Amino acid sequence: MIISDNSKEFKIAPAGNHMARLYSVIDLGHQATEWAGETKIMHKVVLTWELHGKDDSDAPLTTDDGKPLIVSKRYTVSLGEQARLRQDLEAWSNKKMTAEDRKNFDLKNLLGKFCMVNITHSEDGKYANISGISPVPSALKAHQPDAINPIVHFWLAEFDQAKYDALPKYYREKITESSEWRGQKAKDENKVTIEDSDLSDIPF
């Protein structure tokens, strides 16, 4: 009786500096996060880029079925001076954000834009992480490749059921752990509608 392992190994993005297109911004809501030995509730968002180009061995940055490799990074929703999101946005634009920039910054405006992402691997080699972001060099701007993945934008404050249903399962499950989701669920469970009420004893 011969048994073979036919499962496909997940292909991660190779280490190095690659051209990337931001195609997905997903609001995860306020999540419980461990930080310095404490549990804090922090607003999280995940950004996902598709990669373009070739690796050091001249192989295209694609999966076995021809789709572009992707890489994601999760951020705390903050534009404070020490916030990683602000640091990466400033590195991407190659300029400091002004107070006016930080008033109503809309991540949606970055969707479809290209940048360079520097990717490093975890010590066990299983995960690809974005360690830095920079602008696309001028020499490459005229040769930006065609977009592949459709734009994805999901924000809890603008909840759209169809958009939520289209998200990958992992993110849908993560969103249900948010305080926004649990709060809305509690409201829905406690809501009493006229249709559900017995009005027979009301004298009017």
The pLDDT value given to residue 198? 44
The pLDDT value given to residue 141? 83
* Residue 35 structure tokens: 């930080």
How far apart CA 180 and CA 30 sit, in angstroms, is 7
- 150-188 as b/e: b if 16+ CB within 10 A: eebebbbeeeeeeebeebeeebeebbeebebbeeeeeee
Prediction pTM value: 0.85
The pLDDT value given to residue 33? 86
How far apart CA 71 and CA 120 sit, in angstroms, is 11
- Please list the pLDDT of the chain residue by residue as tens digits (204 residues): 565 545 455 688 999 999 999 999 999 999 998 877 888 999 999 999 999 998 888 989 999 889 999 999 999 999 999 999 999 999 999 999 999 999 989 999 999 999 999 999 999 988 999 999 999 999 888 888 999 999 999 999 999 999 999 999 999 999 999 999 988 877 777 654 434 444 344 333
How far apart CA 70 and CA 63 sit, in angstroms, is 9
The tokens 């958009």 sit on which residue?
A: 163
Close Cβ partners of 50 (under 8 Å, ≥ 6 residues apart): 20, 21, 23, 68, 69, 70, 148, 149
How far apart CA 19 and CA 11 sit, in angstroms, is 18
* Residue 23 structure tokens: 């195609």
DSSP 8-state symbol, 5:
-
Give the 3-state secondary structure percentages of the chain, helix then strand then coil, rounded to 5.
Answer: 25, 30, 45
The pLDDT value given to residue 193? 46
The pLDDT value given to residue 34? 84
